[in-house]
Structure 1
Amino acid sequence: MTRNSPRTYSYAARIAFVVELAEHLHAYGTTAQRLEGAVIGVAHQLGLECEPRVSPTGMVLAFSDPQRPPGESDITRVLRMGLGEVDLYKLSEADRIAEEVLAGTLDLSDGHAALLELELRRPGRGGRVLHAFGFAMIAAGVAALWRLPWLDIGTAAGIGLLVGLLDMVTRNGDRLKEAHEALAGMLAGFAAIGVASTIGPLNLNTVVIASLLVLLPGMALTNAVNELTSQHLVSGTARFAGAVATVIKLTVGTMIALTIAQMLGVEPQVRAWRPQPDWVEWLGVLVASVAFSVLFRARLRDVPLVMAAAATGYLIARHAGLAWGGPIGLFLSALVVTAAGNGYARWANRPGAIVRVPGIIMLVPGSASLRGLLTLIQQQDVAVGQQALLAVVNIILALIAGLLFGNLILPARKNL
């Protein structure tokens, strides 16, 4: 059956489709430069001129019709939105719908309806519980990667599950949403102190950090600097400030728990011990890779690809770092993962984020930022804080260099 060209639809219908698509891409965690590039490309193919301005909490989209006199058809849409979260399944579906509309195999009206239907899809109770268990799996996997003792791994997994359940309760609650990270830090701190004071000694700070890893803004910090280097200064600055605020709230919550325990005379047993053999680290890679496919809501058929990307990114950074130093390992890993994501987008005509995002997630500096701030406050030593800041900066610089040169070596055909 012959389909109408998308350019033949009304001006308002074409604008409505672009706006709906932009809302979806923003909601699924797309960075400013990639979102703006995607919106401009789709609008151009629909016969529209669009000047987008994207921030982490909203968008301004200015439209005009190049076939009409200047100023006659100008329309501006201002959209206030929440922070996006990575959802690889919905991102892939939105990309597919847009591709079919632009190819003329799907009517514009049907494509708009499909985007609206996609927005209404919400995970059921089983999906939300699985998401909460993803927190526990990430905590256990990362604790195993760090070769912590079994008590530490089990404690991190248990606290991670509690944090995941807390996330279920506070996600849609306006009253608790702003304090979510602080509450999670308090919960992790109290639980870790309870285990360390009653059952056995723990690597206390490390267990807390592992259990809170999903909430740490390592990806946000990396995306913020990436946006700044792409001259998206407003979005990058806002995202960076949001990431710093998240780290501060997690630190505040954890320090409240530690301070209350000290006031009550509770003294947790703390040790620095990492006794596990190599196979535990490999097990941690497997568990963490599975968990990220759950938390990123990957389509079932994409789970092996997401797992492979996550494991590959970590292993390149790990082994190249042992051979040539940590920053070089991070750089090479980010470069390979970015080029691989762009290559996958070219070959499969699907979003490269399916490879790129899980590939760099275990490299981002979230844990280093929280560890540094916790140590700074506990020891009240400015030199310690400077060292922690330098470590975070080194990680970010290595990742950004890898992202930039990965895109240079194999440019992306798709902005996603």
Structure 2
Amino acid sequence: MSNPSPLSAASYAARINFVIELAERLHAYGTTAQRLEGAISAVAQQLRLECEPWSNPTGMILTFSDPQRPPGDSDTTRVIRLPPGENDLYRLAETDRIAEDVVAGRLGLAEAHAQMSALDKPPTWRSRAMQVLAYGLAATAIAGVLRLPWLDIAVAGANGLLIGLFVQVSEAQPRFKEPLEAVAAMFAASVTLLIAAYVAPLNQNTVIIASLIVLLPGMALTNAVNELTSQHLVSGTARFAGALTTVLKLAIGTVIALYLAQMVGLDAQVRASRPQPEWVEWAALVVASFAFAVLFRANRRDYPKVMAAAASGYLISRFGGQAFGSPAGIFLAALLLTAAGNAYARWWNRPGAIIRVPGIIMLVPGSASLRGFLTLIQQQDIDAGQAALLAVLNILLALVAGLLFGNLLLPARRNL
């Protein structure tokens, strides 16, 4: 193998292109604004560039200059339009490794570009099938964690599988991506209502929410408030608006199904029953942890860490909530998992997101936000809707407080 070219031999344009590609990939793999900007600034400094990044959920502005030239002589600005990113822990970790190797001089810019390009290979049929299966497993597991009856669990799981198929279709048909959430919610609600009318009563709203669990924007809501508290006001506001729009689309699809059922005289039987023994909850937690490891596209060697983080977040919040109240349990879980993610990044020199992101996924308020909208629309009762939406606010506040104090408890040495 040939030795990499030293950074001192790399041209100004080549260094800029590397930072731009790095920024685009970190954005695509779900990095929040404050962490992306911090990582890009650190890498640019190592490459002897002055960089002023500005990131939002749908694009970036990157301004570069060469500190060795007179001010204004080498200024370069790039405006980049990007789709919202999605969590991809494997590609995030690989991109972080490549950037570390470049900065340490173990890898030249041309070799780094080649390795990054290799990450863009299209998903295999097996990985697509695993994603669809993970949607079904996540829905089944959440219904199990809630100790719903077996029929409710089966309906949620079947809905989750078919929603996973919808997601795969939307990736091949971009026109279907925009109404995806509304169509998926309408489908899940329709199947649930038909089963409740002709087979047996169901926990209607809970089954619908469990079916849609992976589409709920709880992580986006949490990231939005976290960005706002970090003074990234534009990015946080835009992300919050996007998350709210997703909840609205899910609520619209569900309400359309409810109105259609009412118009045709469908008499869906609703019950409130959670008869399962405790072991079902623990088994479902293991399945949910595995499903989220697949959905976050973690490297197989990281599955045990991702699953342990997801299960730990839920268990800490559950037992902490029993001892000190639900908000305190969520705060404690977020604090400990954030500190654990920072410790992992500090001592293993890998992205803390591998621990942090799955650790808080079971805490995010996506299901509570959708339940609040459904309660408001179904009951036409402002007080009932306000109570549900206030619960969302309490979860968000506890979660963001845990993230902030977790970073204070053990500061991160690395932005990712």
What does residue 142 of structure 2 align with?
142
Task: Report the Cα distance in structure 2 between the residues aligned to 1:171 and 1:33, rounded to whole angstroms.
Answer: 28
Task: Report the Cα distance in structure 1 between the residues aligned to 2:79 and 2:19, rounded to whole angstroms.
Answer: 13
| Mapped contact 1:137–1:291 kept (Cα < 8 A) | yes
TM-score, normalization by structure 1: 0.99
The DSSP-based 3-state class of the residue aligned with 2:231 is coil
Task: Report the Cα distance in structure 1 between the residues aligned to 2:75 and 2:360, rounded to whole angstroms.
Answer: 40
Stretch moving more, 103-112 or 332-341: 103-112
What does residue 354 of structure 1 align with?
354
Q: Which amino acid is 2:206 matched to? A: T
Task: Report the Cα distance in structure 1 between the residues aligned to 2:5 and 2:252, rounded to whole angstroms.
Answer: 57
User: How far is the alpha carbon of 1:117 from its aligned partner?
Assistant: 2.1
Change beyond 3 A, Cα 1:127–1:3: closer
The DSSP-based 3-state class of the residue aligned with 1:303 is helix
The DSSP-based 3-state class of the residue aligned with 2:54 is strand
Task: Report the Cα distance in structure 2 between the residues aligned to 1:209 and 1:372, rounded to whole angstroms.
Answer: 11
**C-alpha RMSD of the superposition:** 0.9
Alignment: residue pair count: 415
What does residue 326 of structure 1 align with?
326
User: How far is the alpha carbon of 1:203 from its aligned partner?
Assistant: 0.1
Task: Report the Cα distance in structure 2 between the residues aligned to 1:229 and 1:273, rounded to whole angstroms.
Answer: 39
What does residue 240 of structure 1 align with?
240
Task: Report the Cα distance in structure 1 between the residues aligned to 2:8 and 2:191, rounded to whole angstroms.
Answer: 59
| Mapped contact 1:48–1:64 kept (Cα < 8 A) | yes
| Mapped contact 1:342–1:410 kept (Cα < 8 A) | yes
Task: Report the Cα distance in structure 2 between the residues aligned to 1:105 and 1:378, rounded to whole angstroms.
Answer: 60
| Mapped contact 1:7–1:47 kept (Cα < 8 A) | no
What does residue 227 of structure 2 align with?
227
The DSSP-based 3-state class of the residue aligned with 1:171 is helix
Quick one: percent identity of the two aligned structures?
64
What does residue 89 of structure 1 align with?
90
Q: Which amino acid is 2:377 matched to? A: I
Task: Report the Cα distance in structure 1 between the residues aligned to 2:400 and 2:18, rounded to whole angstroms.
Answer: 33
What does residue 198 of structure 1 align with?
198
Task: Report the Cα distance in structure 2 between the residues aligned to 1:228 and 1:7, rounded to whole angstroms.
Answer: 38
Q: Which amino acid is 1:38 matched to? A: A
User: How far is the alpha carbon of 1:8 from its aligned partner?
Assistant: 3.0
Task: Report the Cα distance in structure 1 between the residues aligned to 2:74 and 2:118, rounded to whole angstroms.
Answer: 29
Task: Report the Cα distance in structure 2 between the residues aligned to 1:218 and 1:263, rounded to whole angstroms.
Answer: 32
Task: Report the Cα distance in structure 2 between the residues aligned to 1:356 and 1:270, rounded to whole angstroms.
Answer: 37
Per-residue CA distance 1:224-262 (angstroms, 9 max, x = gap): 000000000000000000000000000000110111011
Name stretches of at least 5 consecutive residues in structure 1 with no aligned partner. none
What does residue 189 of structure 2 align with?
189
Task: Report the Cα distance in structure 1 between the residues aligned to 2:6 and 2:346, rounded to whole angstroms.
Answer: 24
The DSSP-based 3-state class of the residue aligned with 1:23 is helix
Task: Report the Cα distance in structure 2 between the residues aligned to 1:267 and 1:248, rounded to whole angstroms.
Answer: 25
Task: Report the Cα distance in structure 2 between the residues aligned to 1:114 and 1:313, rounded to whole angstroms.
Answer: 34
Stretch moving more, 323-332 or 5-14: 5-14
What does residue 179 of structure 1 align with?
179
Task: Report the Cα distance in structure 2 between the residues aligned to 1:207 and 1:289, rounded to whole angstroms.
Answer: 19
Task: Report the Cα distance in structure 2 between the residues aligned to 1:50 and 1:28, rounded to whole angstroms.
Answer: 21
What does residue 27 of structure 1 align with?
28
User: How far is the alpha carbon of 1:4 from its aligned partner?
Assistant: 3.7
Per-residue CA distance 1:352-407 (angstroms, 9 max, x = gap): 00000000000000000000100100000000111111100000000000000000
User: How far is the alpha carbon of 1:113 from its aligned partner?
Assistant: 1.8
What does residue 101 of structure 2 align with?
100
Task: Report the Cα distance in structure 1 between the residues aligned to 2:150 and 2:6, rounded to whole angstroms.
Answer: 61
What does residue 15 of structure 1 align with?
16
How do 1:6-85 residues align onto structure 2 when only pairs under 5 Å count? 6-85=7-86
Q: Which amino acid is 1:305 matched to? A: K
Stretch moving more, 361-370 or 122-131: 122-131
Per-residue CA distance 1:67-96 (angstroms, 9 max, x = gap): 000011000111111010000000000000
Name stretches of at least 5 consecutive residues in structure 2 with no aligned partner. none
User: How far is the alpha carbon of 1:2 from its aligned partner?
Assistant: 5.2
The DSSP-based 3-state class of the residue aligned with 1:69 is coil
Per-residue CA distance 1:80-139 (angstroms, 9 max, x = gap): 110100000000000000001111111111112211221x22211121111011111100
Q: Which amino acid is 1:110 matched to? A: E
User: How far is the alpha carbon of 1:216 from its aligned partner?
Assistant: 0.3
Task: Report the Cα distance in structure 1 between the residues aligned to 2:195 and 2:73, rounded to whole angstroms.
Answer: 68
User: How far is the alpha carbon of 1:3 from its aligned partner?
Assistant: 4.0
Q: Which amino acid is 2:280 matched to? A: V
